[in-house]
Amino acid sequence: MKSNALYKVDDCKVSALPKHMRPNGNLTVAEHPASIPFDIKRVYYLYDIPAGEERGGHAHKQLQQLVIAVSGSFDVIIDDGTERRTVTLNRPFAGLHIRPGIWRELNNFSSGAVCLVLASEHYDESDYIRDYKDFIQYTKEAER
């Protein structure tokens, strides 16, 4: 496994989750290890986000996430300290796998958007990097 800060934007992939279509409604399944590359220890979701607001604005040292737009759409900006990319999530059967050591910002939420996050670890404040300058320093130190 790579040193966590050495993951790059290209290591964060959007992948399709199994979609089972039925006349009475669709079902999408997220299971470890079939569609999620880590054990899930925490699940949370963001909703009722006012227009123009942003979420995220941090990186994690160890935690991995699968981010899914279960309703509506939003953008996820991922940043490895060198490269920055915007991924639009707008399908409830697609998830963005965000690796450790990747800065993330969520914005451009549509009305009624719901962002589901499956996390590899329990909440631990010491795992967060909340200042972008500290994040850049963290990536530089990890490359040594």
- Structural domains for the chain: 4-143 (2.60.120.10)
**Residues in the chain, total:** 144
- Report CA-CA distances (Å) from 133 to 3, 9, 22, 24, 107: 19, 18, 48, 50, 20
Q: Is 97 a catalytic residue?
A: no
The residue among 68, 78, 61, 111 whose CA lies nearest residue 11 is: 78
pLDDT score, position 6: 84
Task: Write down the pTM of the prediction.
Answer: 0.92
User: What is the C-alpha separation between 69 and 109, in angstroms, rounded?
Assistant: 10
Tell me which of 20, 58, 60, 97 is the catalytic residue.
58
pLDDT at residue 121 is higher than 90:
yes
pLDDT confidence bin for 1, thresholds 50/70/90: very low
User: What is the C-alpha separation between 64 and 94, in angstroms, rounded?
Assistant: 16
